[in-house]
Amino acid sequence: MRTSSAWITYTVVRLLAFAIPFIVIMLVLPAWQWNWLTGLIAGTVISLAVSEIFLRKQKIAIGEAIEQRRAGRADRDRRPAVDIEEDADLDADLSAESDANSTER
């Protein structure tokens, strides 16, 4: 499944799974002052259940896409080569200093 279609499917189904129970409760219990809270809780629970039961493939596809994107960012170092060499030289100097200090004691 393509990542963009997985995102769209997941988002639309999850929103509908929340909105439909919320609207139904708001329409069925209009005079009750806590209808919005009941609708909110029912919509959240139903949306979570639908997501866990029916949208597993989409969640896996989205998770893999996020993992690939993060791995791609970690693989490439955006600093110039001069900066990388300079950092290596500084690290070598610091480790040499700490070695010299530890042998003097």
Reported as a single tens digit per residue, the pLDDT across 6-40 is: 889 999 999 999 999 999 999 999 888 999 999 99
Give how many domains the chain has, as a whole number. 1
Residue 88 lies in domain: 3-100
Is residue 105 in a domain?
Answer: no
Q: pLDDT by residue (tens digit) across 57-105?
A: 999 999 998 888 887 766 665 677 787 888 888 888 878 777 666 666 5
Residue 88 lies in a domain: yes
Looking at the domain assignment, is residue 56 inside a domain? yes
Does any domain span residue 32? yes
Q: Is the pTM of this model over 0.75?
A: no
Burial of residue 22 (CB within 10 Å: 0-12, 13-18, 19+) is buried
